């Protein structure tokens, strides 16, 4: 048995009962609250018990590959946030790509990919148990990563031309570490420019500076 409906005076009491009946610790349970408990009027009339649906979160097989483990974690997260989508996996020599296929892509991407990046961070933390497999897990949907990368390469090109024409440093808007890396790589072979990151935290940007003596 990997799921059960349980009642209690409170949701917390119901969770404790579920742990006892399923014989698993709290962290192994995915809990869905069906009804919250109510003490009624003066604790006498209209008393209503709390009811939950508790599902056991499966433990990953220690012999399971990093890719399979990451896919299982992502699928579990999508189920918990009620998004119906399939996850396709593609394993390469340097990375593992999990591609989400289904509705809700806009919600999963978030503003400038923030939600997708958060999912990716969590999955890498959970799935990276094998010290021998150092591949990064990339989470994508609707080819967002490719589109975002190309837009940043185009931005880097426009800003580099502006820096050369005006002869002054030009700065991008705030970018996360992966986006800054794309900008740095896009301009690394341009001998007339130098790039560096500047700022703190979420306000960190890339400064593109023209070198003297180059047109």
The per-residue pLDDT for range 151-188, each reduced to its tens digit, is: 999 999 999 999 999 999 999 999 988 899 999 999 99
HSE-up of residue 177 (Cα within 13 Å, Cβ side): 5
Q: Give the model's confidence band at 214: pLDDT under 50 very low, under 70 low, under 90 confident, else very high.
A: low
Can you tell me the mean pLDDT for 185-207? 91
**Predicted model pTM:** 0.58
Can you tell me the mean pLDDT for 48-75? 80
Q: Give the model's confidence band at 46: pLDDT under 50 very low, under 70 low, under 90 confident, else very high.
A: low
pLDDT (0 to 100) of residue 211: 86
pLDDT in tens, 135-147: 889 999 988 989 9
pLDDT (0 to 100) of residue 32: 87
**CATH homologous superfamily of 146-210:** R3H-like domain (3.30.1370.50)
pLDDT (0 to 100) of residue 140: 92
pLDDT (0 to 100) of residue 150: 95
From the candidate CATH numbers 3.10.20.600, 3.30.300.20, 3.40.50.300, 2.60.40.10, the one assigned to the domain spanning 66-142: 3.30.300.20
Q: Return residue ranges of the chain for CATH 3.30.1370.50.
A: 146-210
The rounded Cα 152 to chain-centroid distance in angstroms is: 20
Can you tell me the mean pLDDT for 43-55? 75
Q: Return residue ranges of the chain for CATH 3.30.300.20.
A: 66-142
pLDDT (0 to 100) of residue 161: 94
To which residue do tokens 């808007």 refer?
173
CA neighbor of 4 nearest in space, from 47, 36, 34: 34
pLDDT (0 to 100) of residue 208: 96
To which residue do tokens 């399979």 refer?
68
Q: Supply the DSSP string of 93-149, one letter for each residue.
A: SSEEEEEEEES-HHHHH-GGGHHHHHHHHHHHHHHTT-TT--PEEEEEETTHHHHHH
Is the pLDDT at 45 greater than 70? The verdict is no
């Amino acid at each position: 048995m990997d799921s059960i409906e349980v009642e209690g005076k409170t949701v917390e009491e119901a969770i404790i009962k579920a742990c006892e009946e399923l014989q698993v610790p709290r962290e192994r349970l995915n809990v869905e609250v069906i009804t919250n408990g109510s003490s009624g009027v003066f604790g006498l009339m209209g008393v209503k018990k709390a009811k939950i649906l508790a599902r056991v979160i499966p433990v990953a097989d220690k012999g399971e590959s990093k890719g399979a483990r990451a896919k299982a974690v992502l699928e579990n997260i999508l189920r918990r946030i009620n998004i119906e989508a399939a996850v396709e996996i593609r394993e390469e020599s340097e990375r593992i790509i999990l591609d989400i296929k289904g509705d809700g892509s806009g919600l999963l991407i978030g503003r400038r990919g923030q939600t997708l990046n958060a999912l990716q961070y969590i999955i890498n933390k959970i799935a990276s148990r094998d010290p021998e497999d150092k591949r990064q897990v990339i989470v994508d949907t609707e080819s967002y990563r490719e589109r975002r990368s190309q837009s940043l390469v185009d931005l880097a090109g426009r800003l580099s031309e502006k820096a050369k024409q005006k002869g002054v440093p030009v700065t991008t808007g705030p970018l996360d570490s992966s986006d800054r890396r794309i900008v740095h790589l896009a301009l690394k072979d341009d001998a007339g420019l130098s790039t560096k990151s500047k700022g703190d935290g979420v306000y960190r940007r890339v400064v593109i500076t023209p070198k003297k003596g180059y047109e």
